[in-house]
């Protein structure tokens, strides 16, 4: 019975992920402070509190956008969805204009080109007390034409989630590949996507801790799901 459920879960993930991959334009990717590419749909946790100015604390995302293959003139903008903001304010500057929000909701930045092949998003949370701020980011490629110029959708790029935490970072959950705080079929999907796309190494995806990402990690996540642990 367990073998059947394992094959069923893996088969469902194989059906789901190629379609997802085809829907995403990979011309632009998210990268961290070390220049490492962040897997599409991954969650990055930030909990280092710094002093922005006297009396103001800040947690920086440290996330940039890298132009992998698009023309330098390609227009893009960032959609950001604030899922949780316990206190304080979230700021995002992209491509140039800065926006500050204090409430949950779906928002979008202005459109423009990157100033260079690698551009800091300048995304940060200014907490006023302990708590959590969760923001989903998604790149949109757009085109501008006509007079007066009109902007139209071209393609969706990669997405990721920022989780800012003040007051201690949560312990990582084994098998939680996408960092959403749960272990489920979405983590199997994320693993299969990484394997099929040849994505860079992501620590949370190495579930069996053998230093590689492969089918053994998929099996490990499925075992966790089936055992309920």
Sequential DSSP letters for 172-203: PPTT-TT-SSS-SHHHHHHHHHHHHHTPPP-G
Q: How confident is the prediction for the chain on average, in pLDDT?
A: 87
The neighbouring-strand residues paired with 193 are: none
**pLDDT for res 145:** 87
- Collapse the DSSP code of 52 into the 3-class scheme (helix H, G, I; strand E, B; otherwise coil) and give the result: strand
| pTM (two decimals) | 0.69
Nearest CA to 82 out of 91, 72, 70, 95 is that of 91
Q: Is the pLDDT of residue 171 over 70?
A: no
pLDDT at 136: 96
Specify the range with the lowest mean pLDDT, choosing from 37-41, 119-123, 128-132.
37-41
Q: What percent of the chain has pLDDT above 70? A: 88
Over residues 100-104, the mean pLDDT reads 97
Mean pLDDT over residues 80-102, rounded?
Answer: 95
């Amino acid at each position: 019975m367990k073998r059947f459920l394992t094959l069923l879960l893996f088969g469902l993930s194989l059906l789901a992920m190629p379609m997802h991959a085809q829907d995403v334009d990979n011309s632009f990717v998210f990268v961290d402070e070390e220049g490492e590419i962040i897997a599409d749909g991954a969650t990055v946790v930030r909990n280092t509190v710094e002093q922005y100015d006297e009396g103001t604390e800040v947690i920086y995302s440290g996330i940039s956008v890298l132009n992998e293959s698009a023309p330098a003139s390609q227009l893009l903008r960032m959609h950001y969805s604030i899922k949780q903001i316990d206190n304080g304010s979230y700021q995002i500057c992209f491509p140039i204009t800065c926006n500050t929000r204090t409430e949950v909701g779906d928002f979008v930045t202005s459109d423009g080109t990157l100033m260079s092949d690698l551009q800091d998003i300048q995304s940060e949370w200014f907490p006023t007390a302990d708590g959590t701020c969760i923001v989903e980011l998604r790149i949109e490629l757009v085109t501008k034409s006509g007079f007066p110029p009109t902007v139209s959708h071209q393609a969706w790029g990669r997405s990721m989630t920022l989780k800012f935490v003040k007051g201690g970072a949560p312990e990582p959950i084994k098998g939680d590949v996408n960092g959403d705080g749960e272990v489920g079929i979405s983590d199997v999907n994320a693993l299969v996507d990484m394997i099929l796309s040849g994505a860079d190494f992501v620590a949370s995806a190495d579930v069996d801790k053998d230093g590689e990402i492969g089918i053994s990690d998929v099996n490990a996540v499925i075992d966790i799901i089936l055992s309920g642990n």
